[in-house]
Amino acid sequence: MKKIHVTTKINGDTVEFLCDPRETLLDVLRDRLGLTGAKEGCGTGDCGACSVTVDGRLTCSCLMLGVEAEGHEIGTVEGIADGEELHPLQKKFIEYAALQCGICTPGILVAAKNLLERNPDPTEEEVRYWLAGNLCRCTGYDKIIRAVLDTAAEMREAS
């Protein structure tokens, strides 16, 4: 099978690539585009470590083919910070020690940012259910949930 040419936007930049139709968006991001922030924890949509946004919608990049990115806008963890300025969630995650090993962190940040864009004042329960598809084996989620809730509070105050 010949490779397919795809034009897409990633973190605001137009990107073109060739890929085999069997390759997932995650494969393409990591192996073809050098964006290794999204991680493959399972490849079956069960762990959320590969979370990205597609036209602002939270998605597992392992559950989407690279060819499906044609014409869409992809957001990854690499696009969360604004230049040298970290996103408030990124700062809070460091401050709260909301990560231990850090492998789930990119996916959780992408997911949490997407939540706060939709719901600036989530309850603890809403955060927990929103992030239920992002597995973390290290933290027991406690510090992650606190970091998200505190970021939300701080962003509400700032706005």
Partner 1 sequence: MNYYKPATFDEAIAIASGAEGITRILAGGTDVLVQMRSDIVTPDTLIDIKAIDGVKDITRAEDGGWTIGVAVCGAEISEHPDLPREWPGVVEAIGLIGSTQVQGRATPVGNLCNASPAADSVPALVAAGAEVTVQGPNGPRRVAVEDIPTGPGRTSLQKGEIITALHLPPRGKGGGDAYQRFIPRTEMDIAVVGCGVNLRVSGQVITEARMALGAVAPTVERVRGAADALVGTKLEDSALDALADLAQAACNPIDDKRGTVKFRTHLAGVYARRVAKIAYERARAAQ
Partner 2 sequence: MALDEYKPQKGGSELETDHQFKYVGTRPDRPDGFDKVTGRARFGADMYAPGMLHAAILRSPHAHARIVRIDTSKAEAMEGVKAVVTRADFSKNVPFAPGMAGEFWNILENVMAGEKVLYDGHAVAAVAATTPLIARDALKAIEVEYEILPHVTDVDEAMKPDAPVIREGAADKSVPEGMHPNVVRYHESGHGDVEAGFAEADLVIEDHFTTEATHQGYIEPHACLATLGSDGKGELWCCTQGHWYVQKVCAALLDLETANLRVTASEIGGGFGGKTTVFIEPVALALSRKANRPVKLVMSRSEVFRATGPTASASMDIKIGMKKDGTITAAKGEFRLQGGAFPGAPMEFTAMCAFACYNLKNVHQVGYDVMTNRPKQAAYRAPGSPMAAFAVESVIDELCNRLGLDPIEVRLKNAAREGTKASYGPTFPRIGLVETLEAAKAHPHYSAPLKPGQGRGISCGFWFNHGGETSVSLALSEDGSAQVMVGTPDIGGSRASMALMAAEVLGIPFEKIRVTIADTGSLGYNEISHGSRVTYASGLATIKAAQDAVRKLRQRAADKWGIDVEAVDWVDGCAVPSGPNAGDFDPLPLAEITKNMGATGGPISGHYEATPEGAGVSFATHIVDAEVDRETGSTRVVRYTVVQDAGKAIHPTYVEGQFQGGAAQGIGWALNEEYIYGPDGRLQNPGFLDYRIPVASDLPMIDTVIVEVPNPGHPYGVRGVGETSICPPLAAIANAVSNAAGVRLRDLPMRPSRILEELEKQQGDA
SS3 of 6, please?
A: strand
Residues contacting partner 2: total by CB under 8 A: 62
- 51-54/73-75 β-pairing: antiparallel
User: Is residue 136 involved in binding partner 2 (CB under 8 A)?
Assistant: yes
Identity of the residue, 71 or 94, whose beta carbon is nearer to partner 2 in the bound complex = 94
- Please check whether residue 144 is in contact with residue 136, taking contact to mean a CB–CB distance below 8 angstroms: yes
Which of 9, 11, 15, 45 binds partner 1 (CB under 8 A)? It is 45
User: Is residue 52 involved in binding partner 2 (CB under 8 A)?
Assistant: no
User: Is residue 77 involved in binding partner 1 (CB under 8 A)?
Assistant: no
Which of 60, 139, 151, 152 binds partner 2 (CB under 8 A)? It is 139
Which of 71, 123, 132, 156 binds partner 2 (CB under 8 A)? It is 132
Which amino acid belongs to residue 75? G
Write down the least CB distance from residue 97 to partner 1, Å.
24
Which of 17, 64, 141, 152 binds partner 2 (CB under 8 A)? It is 141
Q: Could you tell me which of 124, 130, 131, 2 has the C-alpha nearest to residue 67?
A: 2
Close Cβ partners of 50 (under 8 Å, ≥ 6 residues apart): 26, 38, 39, 40, 41, 60, 61, 62, 107
| Cα distances (angstroms) measured from residue 92 to each of 16, 104, 110, 142, 156 | 34, 16, 14, 13, 14
Enumerate binding residues for partner 1 (CB under 8 A): 1, 4, 21-22, 24, 43-46, 48, 51, 54, 57-60, 62-65, 67-68, 70, 111, 115, 129-134
